[in-house]
Amino acid sequence: MGRYAALLRGVNVGGRAKVAMAPLRATFADLGCTEVATYVQSGNVVFTAPGTAAALERAIEQRLAAELALDIRVAVRSAADLRRVVAGNPFLPGADPQALHVMFLIDPPPAARLRALPTGGSGEAVQAGRHELYLHLPGGMGRAKLPAAVGRAIGVPTTVRNWRTVTALAELAGSGR
């Protein structure tokens, strides 16, 4: 049994892919997950389950498609993965945590695309991690040009979380509750 966080892509954003958290928790419980908790309304689920992250991603995506008729991509990360993401942020210390985001890669992009990441203006920056991209967006996500440019450049599905959410998920996944 491992402790994981599932990051659902595009849930409850701009009125599309609306998913209530109570039924989402029930869906995870129906999959055999225990200690299921959601964090904020944007599709973050922390849980305990047997299996690998890749197998869990497939099972969750299939169940969401069957039960909710939604094509939602999911990134599943173990508690250890989340601790590594938090510890590996290249913009810390020094950067304002409110300017930090993590773009989780749902599918692996070609290595050449990761080597040719675009650069941002106005202090925006991106750095590749292991299975994620770290974003420094001093003007905020809403005004930033870099995330869309990076998404186009790597050509694979991603889901982005702000630094506060990433650290909260790491803490929740690590605590076992």
Specify the CATH architecture of the domain 85-174.
2-Layer Sandwich (3.30)
How high is the mean pLDDT of the chain?
A: 92
Check if 2-81 and 85-174 are the same fold: yes
Helix (H, G, I), strand (E, B) or coil at 141: coil
The 10s digit of each residue's pLDDT in 56-87 is: 999 999 999 998 888 899 999 999 999 999 99
Query: Count of alpha carbons within 13 Å of 175, Cβ hemisphere only?
Result: 10
The band of 15, judged by pLDDT with boundaries at 50, 70 and 90, is: low
- Residue carrying structure tokens 């869309």: 148
Helices 163-175 and 79-87, interaxial angle, to 10°?
140
Q: Where are the domains of the chain?
A: 2-81, 85-174
What is the fold of 2-81? Alpha-Beta Plaits (3.30.70)
Q: What is the pLDDT of residues 124-161, one digit of tens each?
A: 999 999 999 999 999 999 889 999 999 999 999 999 99
In whole angstroms, give the CA distance from residue 121 to residue 80: 33
Check residue 6 and report its DSSP letter: E
Query: Is the pLDDT score of 36 beyond 90?
Result: yes
